[in-house]
């Protein structure tokens, strides 16, 4: 398989402040935050009243985490399959996970493992598309890797009413690779934060306005107000009033304190920050909890390089690095951050309304590869594991299984569409509904799939 960097797209960072202001406060030809608020209101006009509702935090293990080293070990498989790690028992009888995940092992009653998700896409781009849209990604991966269909996060942002003024619906820490909104367009994308939340000087530039910028912002607001006066004879359609409302909500995000306070990790107990881990992964997971608690509906956390790693992702080809050496460094970080997130949500009574998902776009080949004596695993969509915690769903269970060598599902085979249908149901979205494409044609949210009954 080709090295991951061959397929890796360049992802933009946090939207520059100037672009953010321009997108939010210019005319109707620009899709900005105000436009997103307008779209959300149109969705809620169907009768759904705005409410706090459920939230999803996705810890995204980009590159494809090996199920054979994490949640579906095969100690009795031949040596060329099983690897060097061994399973350990959890606090739920009959469930075992990797010895490198001891903190997650002691709270297995608080999550469910799905061990039989499978798809046929071979690359990072098409696998990501398949897993996050339900529609099979195109086999030929051609830059700029723009998805044909919207990711579940884009669709949810479009369909769900806003929770609170002054807060974005979807925050990506720091990005969502290969995202683009499909036929929903860029307005359905996330608010991106590329800065390291563990840094002493962490702040979100797009939410920080100095005195001069506030003056310019006030002038633009006054201009919009003057331009938005009702025409002679009144505004029977209500369009002008709606414009005022949406532009004001966009201003709330820039001028208000809700977003700045939500992103302020200095308000957290230092001991809790230590519990999550003083690294970019741990602090992003803590920030994700803080954002959800403040009213953000969707948070995606990308798991990047951690200190001491050669690996920049979970793309553990034998030709690039030793999978076991990198897992030794990587798995304790995942173990600490995710276990802390799950326990913190329980401690705050947020586990019923918050669903935590840990997954990547594929698994790895059950049979080990070897490159000049260096072990690794290649791309493999035919079997992958997913961890889900909270959401008011039945926890402390394993759903599905794979064959003796971990090559494919043995029972309860799930397509990513089934997983997405489960998430949509949790969010209160009918997964069978349609959204119009750019030509106005109805496109189904999912091509097929049903919610996983064990999580119902």
pLDDT digits (tens, 9 = 90+) for 67-89: 999 999 999 999 999 999 999 99
- The mean-pLDDT minimum among 17-31, 304-318, 331-345 falls in 17-31
Give the residue-averaged pLDDT of 418-444: 95
| Per-residue model confidence (pLDDT) at position 228 | 53
Cα four-point dihedral sign 277, 278, 281, 282: positive
- Could you tell me how far CA 334 lies from the centroid of its own chain? 15
Reported as a single tens digit per residue, the pLDDT across 169-187 is: 999 999 989 988 999 988 8
Q: Are 105 and 111 in contact (CB under 8 A)?
A: no
Share of the chain above pLDDT 90, in %: 68
pLDDT class for 7, splitting at 50, 70, 90? very low
Whose CA is closest to 173, among 35, 296, 277?
296
d(CA 444, CA 438): 14
pLDDT class for 163, splitting at 50, 70, 90? confident
Please tell me which residue, 108 or 304, carries the higher pLDDT value. Answer: 108
Reported as a single tens digit per residue, the pLDDT across 266-275 is: 999 999 999 9
Reported as a single tens digit per residue, the pLDDT across 127-162 is: 999 999 999 999 999 898 999 999 999 999 999 987
Rounded CA Rg of the chain: 22
How many CB atoms within 10 Å of residue 46? 8
Q: How far apart are the first and last CA of the chain?
A: 38
Q: Is the pLDDT of residue 51 over 60?
A: no
| Per-residue model confidence (pLDDT) at position 266 | 93
Q: What is the DSSP string of 75-92?
A: TTS-HHHH-S--EEE-SS
DSSP type of residue 273: H
Give the residue-averaged pLDDT of 202-214: 63
| Per-residue model confidence (pLDDT) at position 369 | 98
Q: Is the pLDDT of residue 240 over 50?
A: no
| Per-residue model confidence (pLDDT) at position 257 | 67
Whose CA is closest to 289, among 421, 445, 392, 171?
171
What 3-state DSSP class applies to 413?
coil
Share of the chain above pLDDT 70, in %: 77
pLDDT class for 303, splitting at 50, 70, 90? very high
**Cα angle 132-133-139, degrees, rounded to a multiple of 5:** 95
Query: What is the residue whose two structure tokens read 């884009």?
Result: 154
What's the chain's average pLDDT? 84
| Per-residue model confidence (pLDDT) at position 222 | 61
| Per-residue model confidence (pLDDT) at position 204 | 85
d(CA 106, CA 104): 5
Give the residue-averaged pLDDT of 24-43: 40
Q: Residue 430 class from Cβ within 10 Å (0-12 exposed, 13-18 middle, 19+ buried)?
A: exposed
| Per-residue model confidence (pLDDT) at position 282 | 97
Torsion (CA) 179, 358, 412, 177 in degrees, nearest 10: 20
* Cis peptide upstream of residue 144 (ω within 30 degrees of 0): yes
């Amino acid at each position: 398989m080709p090295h991951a960097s061959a397929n890796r797209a360049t992802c933009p960072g946090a939207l520059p402040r100037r672009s953010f202001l321009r997108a939010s406060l210019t005319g109707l030809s620009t899709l900005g935050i105000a436009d997103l608020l307008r779209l959300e209101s149109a969705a809620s006009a169907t009768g759904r009243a705005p409410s706090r509702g459920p939230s999803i935090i996705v810890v995204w293990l980009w590159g494809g985490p090996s199920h054979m080293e994490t949640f579906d070990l095969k100690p009795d498989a031949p040596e060329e399959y099983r690897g060097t790690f061994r399973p350990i028992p959890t606090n739920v009888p009959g469930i075992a996970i990797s010895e490198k995940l001891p903190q997650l092992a002691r709270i297995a009653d608080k999550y469910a493992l799905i061990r039989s998700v499978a798809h046929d896409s071979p690359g990072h781009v098409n696998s990501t598309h398949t897993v996050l849209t339900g529609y099979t990604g195109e086999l030929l991966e051609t830059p700029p890797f723009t998805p044909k269909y919207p990711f579940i996060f884009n669709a949810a942002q479009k369909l769900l009413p806003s929770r609170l003024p002054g807060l974005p619906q979807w925050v990506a820490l720091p990005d969502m690779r290969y995202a683009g909104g499909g036929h929903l367009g860029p307005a359905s994308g996330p608010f991106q934060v590329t800065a390291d939340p563990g840094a002493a000087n962490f702040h979100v530039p797009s939410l920080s306005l100095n005195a001069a910028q506030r003056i310019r912002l006030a002038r633009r607001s006054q201009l919009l107000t003057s331009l938005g006066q009702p025409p002679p004879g009144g505004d029977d359609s209500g369009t002008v009033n709606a414009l005022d409302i949406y532009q004001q909500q966009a201003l709330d995000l820039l001028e208000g304190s809700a977003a700045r306070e939500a992103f302020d990790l200095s308000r957290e107990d230092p001991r809790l920050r230590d519990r999550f881990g003083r690294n970019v992964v741990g602090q992003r997971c803590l920030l994700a909890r803080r954002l959800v608690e403040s009213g953000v509906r969707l948070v995606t956390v990308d798991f990047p390089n951690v200190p001491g790693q050669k690996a920049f992702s979970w793309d553990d080809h034998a030709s690039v690095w030793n999978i076991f050496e990198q897992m030794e460094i990587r798995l304790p970080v995942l173990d600490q951050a995710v276990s802390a997130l799950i326990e913190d949500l329980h401690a705050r009574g947020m586990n019923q309304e918050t669903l935590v998902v840990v997954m990547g776009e594929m698994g790895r080949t059950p049979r080990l590869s070897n490159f000049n004596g260096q072990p690794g695993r290649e791309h493999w969509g035919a079997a992958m594991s997913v961890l889900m915690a909270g959401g008011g769903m039945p926890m402390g269970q394993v759903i599905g299984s794979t064959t003796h060598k971990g090559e494919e599902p043995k029972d309860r085979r799930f397509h990513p569409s089934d997983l997405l249908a489960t998430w949509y149901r949790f969010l209160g979205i009918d997964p069978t509904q349609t959204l119009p494409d750019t030509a106005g044609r109805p496109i189904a949210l999912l091509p097929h799939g049903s919610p996983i009954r064990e999580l119902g």
